[in-house]
Amino acid sequence: MKQLVRVFATIFIVAFGLMFLAARLNMTEGYSGNNTLTIYNWGDYIDPDLIKQFEKETGIKVIYQTFDSNEAMMTKISQGGTTFDVAVPSEYMISKMKEEHLLIPIDHSKLPNLKYIDPRFMDLSFDPNNKYSIPYFWGTVGIAYNSSMLGGKKITNWNDLWDKDLRNQILLVDGAREVMGMGLNSLHYSLNDTNEAHLQEAKKKLASLTPNVKAIIGDEIKILLANREAAVGVVWSGEAAEMISENKELNYVIPKEGSNLWFDNMVIPKTAKNIDGAHQFINFMLDPKHAAQNAEYIGYSTPNKKALDYLPKNIANDKRFYPDPETTKKLEVYENLGKSMLAHYNELFLEFKMHRK
Amino acid sequence: MQSRTRNIYLIPYVLWIVLFVIAPIVLVVYYSFFDIEGHFTLLNYKKFFTPVYLRMTLSSFWYAFLITVFCLLLAYPTALLLTKTKHKQLWLLLIILPTWVNLLLKAYAFLGIFGAFGPANALLETLGIGQKQLLFTDFSFVFTSVYIFIPFMILPIFNSLEELSPSFVDAARDLGASPWTTFRRVIFPLTLDGVKSGCQAVFIPALSLFMLARLIAGNRVITLGTAIEEHFLVTQDWGMGSTIAVFLIIAMAIIMILTGSRR
């Protein structure tokens, strides 16, 4: 009994000691005052150098926290108790957060660098006039494939995936919108289609893909494709860029029938304490030089037109990640279909997943 | 006076049960009566009895059954062997040790082991069988699940074998029973309680394995857990998620009653 008490007392003292130490460390580094900015971003989604540069230029201390899914991010913000000043959700989540009044309007007059953003990426359906959000990165959904594993065969469109030679070779990303969108696009329907007949047709078409599907998973696709575990993967462009840098045999293609165009935008959530600092940060990231540095580091596509001039030519001219306007014309942004339609999409996706070989 | 102090001691326990057992179950049942827009409805229950969810239930039960059977087949001989070894505590510790490692970590390890270029395939290659697809198959799913659950099967069986007085076995042998008859008529019936609680400890969590179904089976195995996760996290259709959870709770209660000891 005595020993037990002693053990508990030790744990108690150590825990409090660590808490005290952490608080002291934060204080000595100047984290306690009003002059801090809390950024809530995806993991590994910014060049850490830029944060240091921002701190030096403005004297604002940055506290950087990360999330790994839009849903987790929104839950944390809507529950409150946090002080996130800037967050970087994806477009469908922005319209959801807008509906639930979780965002603060952005003052464009405080963002002189906004003029560098390509007008193609401004004023989109999920946020008219960019009232609440400013583009950070963008990308597409497409097919990453290992041409040497396919005997030099090329993949150019969604329907190529139904090829009998690809038996058990395809990894799909575990997302209802992505996979249903692929089914709809392969039939030349819009990936925001809500026509029941079209959706059923897409589900049927997807079911016939089952023999080719090896697995439906998440971030693991990156490792599996890079390790030649499978030849083909349906992935986001940024993940593809990362994989290609790891395994040169891989290639990425935006399917001809059309695909999804996605955005991660910077927003100021309701929890913000340092709204002025948040604007400063957004403006800092919009600076073409900073945007270029960030894009080169992360490998995603920057929406900053001027930044392209600062990027190495082989990146800026890479049609796979900076598609020409003709290709982008065929890309669609996910519209917020509403809760019940989204539930229906998921139901169909679940049925597809249950379809046995 | 004495009964009053006893009541005071009861408070933490009752609070715990009310807050963390009764309240969540009541909430789950409550939510199951609402649709996605927050209107009262019984449709969720109707939806559960559609082919999609019934097939999902069937497959959940089938895989949980397979996992339990393989666990039992491996665990009983192991437990029997354990009671006969010299350093019981050491062996027992070695069996419990893997449960200290995070489940996710173990799952990722199996991704590597079963991979196309992993050790499992290297072994098949040297045996002359040749490379096979192991990852994302029923085999790898059941194998990994058995690996993860087996300590929970071995422990109760081991305990009941330990409690078994050796004089019963000696008596059976003295009266001329063969080793097999002794096992069938004496040892096994007397350790049935351990087997039952082992089966409960494996079957019930195996019903809703969603993480392994995703990582190891690549979502080629869909369990009720997968659907619950999707409804709560992605579609935010808490009603349907809760309805599935209600059915799981009912199924678990039935299993508990069926395998409960009748003493």
Predicted confidence at residue A34, as pLDDT, reads 65
Residues A198 and A300 in one domain: no
Residues A187 and A278 in one domain: no
- Domains, chain B, ordered by start: 48-258 (1.10.3720.10)
Residue in A71, A146, A173, A347 to test binding to B, most B beta-carbons within 10 Å: A347
Contacts with A, B 63-92, CB within 8 Å: none
* Structure-block tokens of residue A23: 């608080």
Tally of residues, chain B: 263
Contacts with A, B 113-142, CB within 8 Å: 115-117, 133, 135-136
What distance in Å separates the CA atoms of residue B247 and residue B232, rounded to the nearest whole number? 16
Q: Taking residues B237-242, what's their average pLDDT?
A: 91
Residues A299 and A339 in one domain: no
CB distance B117–A214 less than 8 Å? no
CB distance A354–B214 less than 8 Å? no
Over the stretch A268-300, which tens digit does the pLDDT of each residue have?
999 999 999 999 999 999 999 999 999 988 888
Instruction: Indicate whether B36 pLDDT > 90.
Output: no
Residues A337 and A217 in one domain: yes
> What are the chain B neighbours of A347 within 8 Å (beta carbons)?
52
CB distance B52–A71 less than 8 Å? no
Count of domains in chain A?
2
Other Cβ atoms within 10 Å of A209 Cβ, number = 20
Coil, strand, or helix at residue A270?
A: coil
Q: Look at the block and give the residue holding tokens 């069926």.
A: B258
Coil, strand, or helix at residue A136?
A: strand
Residues A93 and A234 in one domain: no
Residues A40 and A116 in one domain: yes
> What are the chain B neighbours of A218 within 8 Å (beta carbons)?
214
CB distance B220–A174 less than 8 Å? no
A83 within some domain = yes
B221/A contact by beta carbon, under 8 A: no
Instruction: Indicate whether B259 pLDDT > 70.
Output: yes
Instruction: Indicate whether B263 pLDDT > 70.
Output: no
Size of interface A-B (CB pairs under 8 A): 74
B196/A contact by beta carbon, under 8 A: no
Residue in B35, B43, B216, B234 to test binding to A, most A beta-carbons within 10 Å: B234
Residues A94 and A230 in one domain: no
DSSP B235: I
Closest CB from A171, A218, A350 relative to B230: A350
| Residue ranges making up the domain that contains A269 | 33-137+263-322
Tally of residues, chain A: 357
Residues A59 and A45 in one domain: yes
Instruction: Indicate whether B2 pLDDT > 80.
Output: no
Predicted confidence at residue B141, as pLDDT, reads 94
CB distance A351–B52 less than 8 Å? yes
Predicted confidence at residue B131, as pLDDT, reads 84
A→B interface, C-beta within 8 Å? 69, 71, 168, 171, 174, 176, 214-218, 220, 223-224, 227-229, 339-340, 342-343, 346-347, 350-351, 353-354, 356-357
pLDDT < 70 positions in chain A: 27-34, 357
Share of chain B above pLDDT 90, in %: 65
A119 within some domain = yes
DSSP A234: E
> Where residue B234 falls among pLDDT bands split at 50, 70, 90?
confident
Residues A179 and A313 in one domain: no
A274 within some domain = yes
What distance in Å separates the CA atoms of residue A120 and residue B201, rounded to the nearest whole number? 57
Predicted confidence at residue A6, as pLDDT, reads 92
Residues A230 and A156 in one domain: yes
Contacts with A, B 32-61, CB within 8 Å: 36-37, 52, 55-56, 59
Prediction pTM value: 0.84
Of the ranges A21-25, A161-165, B2-6, B174-178, which one carries the lowest mean pLDDT score?
A: B2-6
Residues A191 and A318 in one domain: no
What distance in Å separates the CA atoms of residue B148 and residue B159, rounded to the nearest whole number? 19
Pairing, β A213-217 against β A170-173: parallel
Closest CB from B116, B135, B218 relative to A216: B218
Name the residue in chain A with its Cα closest to that of B237: A343
What distance in Å separates the CA atoms of residue B114 and residue B143, rounded to the nearest whole number? 11
What distance in Å separates the CA atoms of residue A186 and residue A194, rounded to the nearest whole number? 16
Q: How far is A331 from chain B (nearest CA, A)?
A: 24
> What are the chain A neighbours of B240 within 8 Å (beta carbons)?
343
Q: How far is B45 from chain A (nearest CA, A)?
A: 15
CB distance A339–B56 less than 8 Å? no
Over the stretch B64-89, which tens digit does the pLDDT of each residue have?
999 999 999 999 999 999 998 889 98
Smallest CA-to-CA distance from A112 within A306, A349, A312, A337 is with A306
What distance in Å separates the CA atoms of residue B106 and residue B111, rounded to the nearest whole number? 9
Kindly list the distances between the CA atom of residue B11 and the CA atoms of B16, B22, B26, in Å, as whole numbers in the listed order: 8, 15, 20
Q: Please, are residues A186 and A236 in contact by the beta-carbon 8 Å criterion?
A: no
> What are the chain A neighbours of B59 within 8 Å (beta carbons)?
354
A349 within some domain = yes
Residues A151 and A251 in one domain: yes
Name the residue in chain B with its Cα closest to that of A72: B233
B213/A contact by beta carbon, under 8 A: no
A195 within some domain = yes
Smallest CA-to-CA distance from B262 within B168, B186, B196 is with B196
Predicted confidence at residue B8, as pLDDT, reads 86
CB distance B237–A168 less than 8 Å? no
Residue in A73, A149, A179, A350 to test binding to B, most B beta-carbons within 10 Å: A350
* Structure-block tokens of residue B35: 């649709």
Average pLDDT, chain B: 90
What distance in Å separates the CA atoms of residue A127 and residue A96, rounded to the nearest whole number? 11
| CATH number of the domain within which A301 lies | 3.40.190.10
